[in-house]
Amino acid sequence: MFIGSRDHYLYVLDALTGAVIWKFEAGNEIVSSPAVADGRVYVGSLDHRIYAVDAETGSEVWHVESRDEIYASATVVDGIVYIGSGDGHLYALDAASGATVWDVNASGSIWASAAVSDGVVTIGTIAGEVLALDAKTGAERWRYTVGDVIWASPVVSNGVVTIASQHKTLYALDAATGDVIWELKAGAPINSTPVVIEDRIFVASAVGTISALDLQGKSIWQAEIGGPLYAALSYSDGVLYAVTEKDGSIFALDASTGAQLWRFQTGYQGDWRSSSAVLAGGVLYVGSNDGKVYALGSP
């Protein structure tokens, strides 16, 4: 298990026991999720750097300096690392060497991860822009302006880009052209990345609601969690997992009905607990601001 921490370290833990296998020290906090591909771990830090670390030994392979803090997680596809920076640039780096393949100024800080699909990279910016770029060259395919902050990552599925804004709106855009297919006023800011599974869209809001929609944006059900939701929902085998801010709760919901299956209370009480849950091998892993990583379930 690979996880970054605000103590400046990237940790690798034994998934069964939680024992630390190795840790790598960056120059500042790591608040994004690491990406693992081809024996290397890719992660950004608030020290402005993008790191590649050997997954077996924890030794640095390379790092690249950006012009600002890195909040976005890396996306690795076909030997290229795509990662945005607070400097408003999206970097495409050679995964083996760190050499710059291309570097595009998106004219707005990028805090969310890029989606890569069918040779196109799609990103959202703090300036309220959604951009689609050629994955090989960085050439702009299209741009759509929502006019408000975008914290959430785009999701590309079946030729549609689903993306949310803090302006209480969920958008479905044509992935080829950027044209609006539909938009839905959600009634609350959406900072969390939507989840698209087959014919359902699941969206969490900053006021603690989780909604299930069909692919046309029509409501199927809505559940009240009772705490702000900033981290992305997780999905597996018909179950949604949600991690709330402030009270440190982890919820499991039936994805077909929204009914609560269980709730787990961590030891954290306070603001900003934005780590999503990851399910692997029947165990749910969650990082917390109480300084702990939790493994829930039966291995």
> Backbone phi, then psi, for 166, in 5-degree steps?
-70, -10
User: Considering the domain boundaries, does residue 11 fall inside one?
Assistant: yes
pLDDT (tens digit per residue) in 213-222: 999 999 999 9
Sequence-distant (6+) residues with CB within 8 A of 76 are: 35, 37, 42, 82, 95
Q: 123 and 32 share a domain?
A: no
Q: What is the pLDDT of residue 291?
A: 85
Quote the domain boundaries for residue 247.
195-299
> Backbone phi, then psi, for 250, in 5-degree steps?
-120, 125
Q: What is the CATH number of the domain that holds 161?
A: 2.40.10.480
Q: 48 and 130 share a domain?
A: no
User: Considering the domain boundaries, does residue 190 fall inside one?
Assistant: no
User: Considering the domain boundaries, does residue 50 fall inside one?
Assistant: yes
Structure letter (DSSP) for residue 249: E
Whole-number Å distance between alpha carbons of 83 and 115: 10
Structural contact between residues 139 and 120, judged by C-beta atoms closer than 8 angstroms: no
Q: What is the pLDDT of residue 175?
A: 98
Q: What is the pTM of this model?
A: 0.94
3-state helix, strand, coil in the chain (%, to 5): 0, 50, 50
Domain end: 105, 131, 160, which one? 105
pLDDT (tens digit per residue) in 35-90: 999 999 999 999 999 999 999 999 999 999 999 999 999 999 999 999 999 999 99
Q: What is the pLDDT of residue 95?
A: 98
Residue 137 CB: number of other CB atoms within 10 A? 11
pLDDT (tens digit per residue) in 148-160: 899 999 999 999 9
Structure tokens at 226: 């009772």
Q: What is the CATH number of the domain that holds 42?
A: 2.40.128.630
Q: Which residues of the chain have pLDDT under 70?
A: 268-274, 299
Q: What is the pLDDT of residue 272?
A: 54
User: Considering the domain boundaries, does residue 277 fall inside one?
Assistant: yes
Sequence-distant (6+) residues with CB within 8 A of 291 are: none
Q: What is the pLDDT of residue 143?
A: 96
The count of domains in the chain is 3
Exposure b/e, 243-273, CB count within 10 A at least 16 = b: bbbeebbbbbbebeebeeeeeeebebeeeeb
Q: 227 and 156 share a domain?
A: no
DSSP line for 187-248? SS---SPPEEETTEEEEE-TTSEEEEE-TTS-EEEEEE-SS---SPPEEETTEEEEE-SSS-
Domain end: 105, 133, 165, which one? 105
Q: 5 and 99 share a domain?
A: yes
User: Considering the domain boundaries, does residue 110 fall inside one?
Assistant: no
**Coil, helix or strand at residue 230:** coil
- Nearest CA to 243 out of 200, 285, 299 is that of 285
Whole-number Å distance between alpha carbons of 261 and 25: 38
Q: 68 and 124 share a domain?
A: no
Q: What is the pLDDT of residue 273?
A: 55
Q: What is the pLDDT of residue 270?
A: 58
Structure tokens at 257: 């009905």
